[in-house]
Amino acid sequence: MVDYNGRLSTVYAAGRGMTVDEVRRWTAAFRAYLPDERPLTTLDLGSGTGRLTPGLAEAFGGQAYGVEPSDRMREIAQESAAHPGVTYLKGSAEDIPLPEASADGVLMFLSFHHFRDQLKALQEVRRVLKPGGAAFLRSQFADLMPDLFWYDYFPSAREVDAGMYLSLDQAKELAETAGLWCGEGPVWVSAEEPRTLREAHERLTHRALSTFEHLPEDEIEQGFARLAADAEREPDKLMPVHPAAMLVLRRPIA
Ligand SMILES: C[S@@+](CC[C@H](N)C(=O)[O-])C[C@H]1O[C@@H](n2cnc3c(N)ncnc32)[C@H](O)[C@@H]1O
């Protein structure tokens, strides 16, 4: 388990912040699967520091609920990602503090792999979704891992990361067991902006990715020494970006 009440909460924004355009590209991707009517009610499940929650309220013109178990992450969201259309609630995916059939859309953005009981969570997602509503499972999948440039610097990182995630078929099977319909998938979303090696290095130094919580300290030190040297040599080199995988799950109408 990763502790989001400690160090990670303090470095999350610096290491994993999104630009306004990145958030907009994500909400445009969700919009394609939701009705055109407004307002729509959305739920950001595992909303963290509220990186995307105000974007949901903006894009869909209705209430966006951010449900987050970590007190510290939720406090930061309340301080730095407040919005008149957003309500942050203490709660977990396994016990969502919203009524049945109350949400048009549910977002799980890199939170699903942290859920203690993923089946229970998906059953809860089905419960709170309106019939026909859509849930967006933005996750990595063990059999579709992107070839991130920084994996080359930390030899165990790729395997550590892959070990955190279900395969695509496992995720779909779990969603179907929970009574959610999964189409063909995943959908690939190109939302991330290219960053230079200097920027990418600076973001990584915050160790805001939970991967680093599982790597030996000597591997982290050696990897950052090599990365710093390369960033100094080629600071303006543009780093590759990878389309992000997302499964769209629906609560059936009947
Ligand atoms: C990598 S962060 C992602 C936060 C946010 N979705 C984002 O993209 O910035 C994972 C979040 O999931 C939360 N989380 C962990 N266990 C959870 C659970 N059982 N239910 C809901 N959220 C959970 C963590 O506290 C953390 O804030």
Q: Does residue 27 belong to any structural domain of this protein?
A: yes
Would you say residue 29 lies in a domain? yes
Tally of domains in the chain: 1
Distance of alpha carbon 137 from alpha carbon 172, whole angstroms: 10
Give the CATH number of the domain where residue 50 resides. 3.40.50.150
Instruction: Pick the residue whose CA is nearest to atom 10 on ligand 1.
Output: 111
Q: Is position 236 within any domain? A: no
Ligand 1 atom nearest residue 70's Cα? 25
Full domain range(s) for residue 21: 7-145+161-194+242-250
Identify the residue whose C-alpha is closest to ligand 1 atom 26: 48
* Ligand 1 centroid – CA 245 distance (Å): 17
Ligand 1: residues with CB < 6 A are 4, 45-48, 51-52, 68-70, 73, 92-94, 109-111, 114-116
122 CA to middle of ligand 1, Å? 15
**pLDDT for 139:** 97
Q: Determine contact, residues 52/30, Cβ cutoff 8 Å.
A: no
Ligand 1 pocket: which of 111, 118, 211 to mutate (most atoms <8 Å of CB)? 111
How high is the pLDDT of residue 183? 84
Select from 47, 109, 114, 189 the residue to mutate for testing ligand 1; criterion: most ligand atoms less than 8 Å from CB: 114
Measured in Å, residue 229 CA sits from the centre of ligand 1 at 33
Cα angle 35-36-40, degrees, rounded to a multiple of 5: 65
Nearest CA owner, ligand 1 atom 9: 51
Which pLDDT does position 173 carry in this prediction? Answer: 98
Q: Is residue 90 part of a domain?
A: yes
Is 231 domain-assigned? no
Domain annotation covers residue 189 = yes
- Provide the pLDDT for residue 2: 87
In ligand 1, which atom is closest to the CA atom of 18? 9
Ligand 1 atom, smallest distance to 108 CA: 6
Tokens coding 71: 């007190």
Residue 72 within a domain: yes
Q: List the one residue out of 127, 113, 163 whose CA is nearest residue 143.
A: 163
Q: Could you tell me if residue 136 is inside a domain?
A: yes
pTM recorded for the entire structure? 0.97
- Identify the segments of the chain with pLDDT beneath 50: none
Kindly give, in sequence order, each residue whose CB lies less than 8 Å from that of residue 66, ignoring residues fewer than 6 positions away: 43, 44, 47, 50, 53, 74, 77, 81, 86, 87, 88, 89
pLDDT value, residue 185: 86
